[in-house]
Amino acid sequence: MTDAAPRFLRACRREAVDATPVWFMRQAGRSLPEYRAIRERHGMFEIMRAPELTAEVTLQPVRRHGVDAAILFSDIVAPLMAIGVDVDIKPGVGPVFGRPVRDEDDLDQLRPLEPEQDMPWMIDAVRAITAELGADVPLIGFAGAPFTVASYLVEGGPSREYGRTKALMLGRPDLWQRLLDRLADNAIASLRAQVAAGARAVQLFDSWAGALDPPTYAAHVLPASARIFAGLADLGVPRIHFGVGTGELLGLMSDAGADVIGVDWRVPLDAGWDRIGDKAAQGNLDPAVLCAPWDVVAREADAVLARAGGRPGHVFNLGHGVLPDTDPDVLTRLVEHVHSS
Amino acid sequence: MTDAAPRFLRACRREAVDATPVWFMRQAGRSLPEYRAIRERHGMFEIMRAPELTAEVTLQPVRRHGVDAAILFSDIVAPLMAIGVDVDIKPGVGPVFGRPVRDEDDLDQLRPLEPEQDMPWMIDAVRAITAELGADVPLIGFAGAPFTVASYLVEGGPSREYGRTKALMLGRPDLWQRLLDRLADNAIASLRAQVAAGARAVQLFDSWAGALDPPTYAAHVLPASARIFAGLADLGVPRIHFGVGTGELLGLMSDAGADVIGVDWRVPLDAGWDRIGDKAAQGNLDPAVLCAPWDVVAREADAVLARAGGRPGHVFNLGHGVLPDTDPDVLTRLVEHVHSS
């Protein structure tokens, strides 16, 4: 380790790097036998509420793969659970809510988040993780974006079509905006607390924003996401903005104010980067490619690197999360391959 | 009715029309109580194998909504079921296969389709439907595209990630191509038989093609889809090509040779049409919008019509299928609205 900042942070700032930094969304997760061993004994919220368990699963992929960044093990509904919203994460399903948001009264369950009181476990976990990581490997803070969190809250659980969400957004834009502003303020509070405790970058997950057309996104989602990035600007840490299927939205997501924009695999990285403008880009290998033989993985990774074309500011990642069936040895080999390319 | 061809066929050919034609994907389906009444008593394959039931559910939305086209009630796995492949359509799940395709031997189950012998029920249904429809309302023939059908065959059922499918495609391109060519030939046979029995247009459903990046689509999917459109060219009926999340692929899907290209709601229709080139465009209202109050539905439909901008060759439709919770009266009202706009 030299005096220079870690290559992940340098790439986020579009500074020169000695090698392309790489980490994987869902690197702390089901592809790892050591993670599955913990999950056999502990539920998702149980892991989040126990700082030593959160730290352990967050650090597992760093130890195993040698990735350039850790990401806090969490879930987009963690701040809702922290303020007492009736939510459960059902195995094989996802977050399920006891009282979906359908009208004004349902907003009452969304009081302002006070991180020190409401989720000391997350703050303690961040402190423990960053102490162990030291200066070489930054921790990325984690929060769900207002649209994606709201989609679960309004539907009452996971959805493929977002019928109720879009009906509320378009039919009750006033109520929708109040809902998103509350979620934005809580995301700001959570991320600020994570950075205060030692996180050196943040990622806002708007995983399902790609379900929206650009005019709808611009009118009903972008303002709340922009509020978050503005609310973090003074911290000086790289802010990453991520979604899936966002080819048409990349320019708008960039306008929302992050420093690094995620590009999923559907858009070739060079084309996606042109839509982002003068910012760093994160991505964009198809996670399903990792199920193919190694020579295919290497070839497709090389294609991503070739499309980055040496532009400053490339953070190598998958276009979405690691698939559960992925062989973890392939992930380790891919880290080495990207570093040596 | 005048001597002119129905407005749906005229729009497909980019000829002048008296009003924008409209039909809805999944118009024959769960939004209709009269359909649900039939489904309570009959399974999916049971309906397909009974020409009078197929005709009834195909005609229900034409009677109720006054749409400009009927579409044959079918499923993308119907030709597989017809040649004896071990497949079942499980309620709430989708098609599930007893023997997923993983290696050469698994291709043996995919013998050439002989429509007259293997699915006389489909041919009889098309004859019955077109006899009842008469000259005014064309019937659109139905087939699944090789990639989307193959994704079910390789995964063994529905998937969100297509890990096995992409691993086979990229890791065993020779086997993949043989699989897709067999599916393409059977799609050609099925669609030719439907046209011979009276269908006056065809739609090839590549619903999940949007899971692919453009280079992968161009190398491993486009050739088989192009083979189908070439294999129908002499019939002289409009050929429609449809998929979801295909913003990056619209140019390539157009290159595959169809006359009409479906554009989902993620891409504004004018932008999508520019990618298609000089062809007709079908779409592109977000189906979730139909869950919102009527004034929102009308406003969003008007936005689609405005983006069509009077270009010849617009077939109004949803960007994907009607959602089950949709109020059928909204569909009827939307048909009237589009016709009078």
Average pLDDT, chain A: 97
Average pLDDT over every residue of B210-238: 98
Strand A280-285 to A314-318 pairing: parallel
Burial class of B309 by CB neighbour count within 10 A (0 to 12, 13 to 18, 19+): exposed
Contact list, B268 vs chain A (CB under 8 Å): 213-215, 248
- Cross-chain Cβ contact B215/A292 below 8 Å: no
User: Measured between CB atoms, does B287 come within 8 Å of chain A?
Assistant: yes
Say how far apart CA A331 and CA A33 lie, in whole Å: 13
**Token couple for A259:** 């420093």
Average pLDDT over every residue of B224-235: 98
User: Measured between CB atoms, does A164 come within 8 Å of chain B?
Assistant: yes
**Angle formed at CA A321 by CA A320 and CA A326, multiple of 5 degrees:** 125
How far off is chain B from A114, nearest CA to CA, in Å? 35
- The residues facing B141 across adjacent strands are B202
User: Measured between CB atoms, does A236 come within 8 Å of chain B?
Assistant: no
- Cross-chain Cβ contact A164/B291 below 8 Å: yes
Most B CBs within 10 Å: which of A286, A326, A330, as the mutation test of the B interface? A286
Q: Using one digit for the tens of pLDDT, what is the confidence trace for B72-130?
A: 999 999 999 999 999 999 988 999 999 999 999 999 999 999 999 999 999 999 999 99
Nearest Cβ partner for B163 among A166, A212, A288: A288
Average pLDDT over every residue of A14-34: 97
Reduced to 3 states (helix: H, G, I; strand: E, B; else coil), residue A90 is strand
Q: Chain A residue closest to B288 (CA)?
A: A163
Nearest Cβ partner for B171 among A214, A296, A325: A296
User: Measured between CB atoms, does B291 come within 8 Å of chain A?
Assistant: yes
**Token couple for A37:** 């061993």
pLDDT at B2 over 60: no
pLDDT at A92: 86
- Cross-chain Cβ contact A212/B266 below 8 Å: yes
Closest CA to B99 of B168, B156, B166: B156
Percent of chain A with pLDDT over 70: 99
Q: Is A14 among the residues known to form the active site? A: no
- Cross-chain Cβ contact B292/A171 below 8 Å: yes
Interface size A-B, in CB pairs within 8 Å, comes to 100
User: Measured between CB atoms, does B33 come within 8 Å of chain A?
Assistant: no
- Cross-chain Cβ contact B268/A162 below 8 Å: no
Contact list, A271 vs chain B (CB under 8 Å): 248
User: Measured between CB atoms, does A291 come within 8 Å of chain B?
Assistant: yes
Percent of chain A with pLDDT over 90: 97
Helices (H), chain A: 7-12, 33-39, 44-49, 51-65, 78-82, 115-118, 120-133, 146-155, 163-171, 173-196, 214-220, 222-232, 250-255, 269-276, 294-308, 328-339
pLDDT at B293 over 60: yes
- Cross-chain Cβ contact B213/A268 below 8 Å: yes
- Cross-chain Cβ contact B266/A210 below 8 Å: yes
Percent of chain B with pLDDT over 90: 97
Amino acid, single-letter form, for residue A127: R
ipTM computed for the complex? 0.94
pLDDT at A3: 54
pLDDT at A309 over 70: yes
Average pLDDT, chain B: 97
pLDDT at A4: 77
Q: Chain B residue closest to A163 (CA)?
A: B288
Nearest Cβ partner for B171 among A161, A292, A303: A292
User: Measured between CB atoms, does B175 come within 8 Å of chain A?
Assistant: no
Closest CA to A54 of A118, A119, A148: A119
For chain B positions 203-222, those within 8 Å of chain A (CB to CB) are 210-216
Nearest Cβ partner for B291 among A166, A293, A300: A166
**Token couple for B207:** 């619903």
pLDDT at B262 over 80: yes
User: Measured between CB atoms, does B335 come within 8 Å of chain A?
Assistant: no
Q: Is A152 among the residues known to form the active site? A: yes
- Helix (H) / strand (E) containing A2: none
Rg (CA), chain A: 19
How far off is chain A from B213, nearest CA to CA, in Å? 4
pLDDT grade for A28, boundaries at 50, 70 and 90:
very high
Q: Using one digit for the tens of pLDDT, what is the confidence trace for A236-293?
A: 999 999 999 999 999 999 999 999 999 999 999 999 999 999 999 999 999 999 999 9
pLDDT at A2 over 60: no
Q: Measuring CA to CA, how many Å separate B291 from each of A175, B304, B329?
A: 17, 17, 12
Contact list, A247 vs chain B (CB under 8 Å): 247-248, 266
Q: Is A275 among the residues known to form the active site? A: no
Average pLDDT over every residue of B45-67: 98
pLDDT at A1: 45
- The residues facing B315 across adjacent strands are B282
What's phi and psi for B46, nearest 5 deg?
Answer: -65, -40
Q: Using one digit for the tens of pLDDT, what is the confidence trace for A116-162?
A: 999 999 999 999 999 999 999 999 999 999 999 999 999 999 998 99
For the annotated catalytic residues of B, the residue numbers are 26, 30, 39, 75, 152
CB-side neighbour CA atoms (13 Å) of A21? 28
Nearest Cβ partner for A170 among B210, B216, B292: B292
Contact list, A210 vs chain B (CB under 8 Å): 245, 266
How far off is chain A from B102, nearest CA to CA, in Å? 13
pLDDT at B3: 54
User: Measured between CB atoms, does A162 come within 8 Å of chain B?
Assistant: yes
Q: Using one digit for the tens of pLDDT, what is the confidence trace for A50-75?
A: 999 999 999 999 999 999 999 999 99
pLDDT at B162: 95
Question: SS in 3 state form for B60-114?
Answer: HHHHHHCCCCEECCCCCCHHHHHCCCCEEEECCCEEEECCCCCCHHHHHHCCCCC
Contact list, B250 vs chain A (CB under 8 Å): none
User: Measured between CB atoms, does B265 come within 8 Å of chain A?
Assistant: yes
Q: Chain B residue closest to A268 (CA)?
A: B213
What's phi and psi for A2, nearest 5 deg?
Answer: -95, -170
Q: Chain A residue closest to B264 (CA)?
A: A213
